[in-house]
Every structure is written in C-alpha cells, then in structure tokens.
Amino acid sequence: RFQYFYISKTKIVENACIFYIDDDQDDIGIFCDCATRLGHRTVATSAADALFKSLKYPPPKADIVLVDLNMPSVDGIEIIERIRANPEWNSLPVIVHSTANDNHSIVRCRTAGATMYVRKPDTYSGLSRIINYLVNTDWATFQPQSHNFYFSAEQRRELNI
C-alpha cells in the first residue's frame, strides 16, 4: 500500500559528503551533478575496492553512502554487509539507491543492514528531492522501521514485514 508524504524539514545541511557506488556511469554523472548543484560533495565510483579504500582512508569522510543494488561484479548486498562488518563504519548511513521496486529486494537490503531503501527517480527534480531528504535526515536518531525504510521522490510505502 502506498502513502503520500511531504518533507517538513526546514534546516538545509550544506556540504554533506555523499559516497556513491553504481555500475552505470550515466547515473553517477547525473547524481554527482545534482548533488554538487545542491552544495554537496561526492565521491563516486563503480568499483567496490575504490569505495572501501575511500571509506578506509579519509578525507573526505562519508556522511552517507549510497549503494546501487544490482551491479555485475559485486552486488549491493555484499557491499552493505562488508560495511556493517567493520565497526568503524557501523553507524554510517548506508542507503540503497536502486530501480528495483519489489518487496523481496527491499527486505533483503534491510536484513543485510541497509539504513534505508531509496527508489531511483525518473527525473532530475526527483533526484534533488531525494538528496535533500537524505542530507536533512537525522541519522543519529533514525531507526529503520516498516513505515520509513522505503523512500521515493513520488511516494513511500509501508512494508509488510
């Protein structure tokens, strides 16, 4: 079931550092362009080794990590599990950013330790809304629940898990 929502945040976080891994270079380019226009820094890669090297040897230090789910060499689940296995990164918000929209994929990500599941938007303005939402979420107090784990620029849904 779907529920419509609105973002009621007033504080805009400036200059967040978002790490992003995706196998699609076009998606990386669009994401980095949008995040930069919104005043945020990005570290983007299509290689898991490069992501883990950037996480291990800051600066910059990641505020959020976005992970594509379906990648050919290493899938998003494995990346989430590797991040969660490292005590230094355990509190880092790990957001799945994927076109997959089925409950099975979403539940697998939550079980693996993802903080949130975000559906890739179809529009640039949708991507802007998603980035603004993510950088303005209080991750220190956020608790993944069935009503807030899935997020879309258009709608959110409550999971039946």
Q: Report CA 32 to chain centroid distance, whole Å.
A: 13
Q: Which two tokens stand for residue 131?
A: 């980035």
Q: Are 17 and 36 in contact (CB under 8 A)?
A: no
Query: Residues 9, 126, 52, 16: is their CA dihedral positive or negative?
Result: negative
For 109, phi then psi, to 5°, come to: -65, -40
pTM for this one? 0.87
- Residues of the chain scoring pLDDT < 50: 1-11, 161
Q: What is the pLDDT of residues 56-84, one digit of tens each?
A: 999 999 999 999 999 988 999 999 999 99
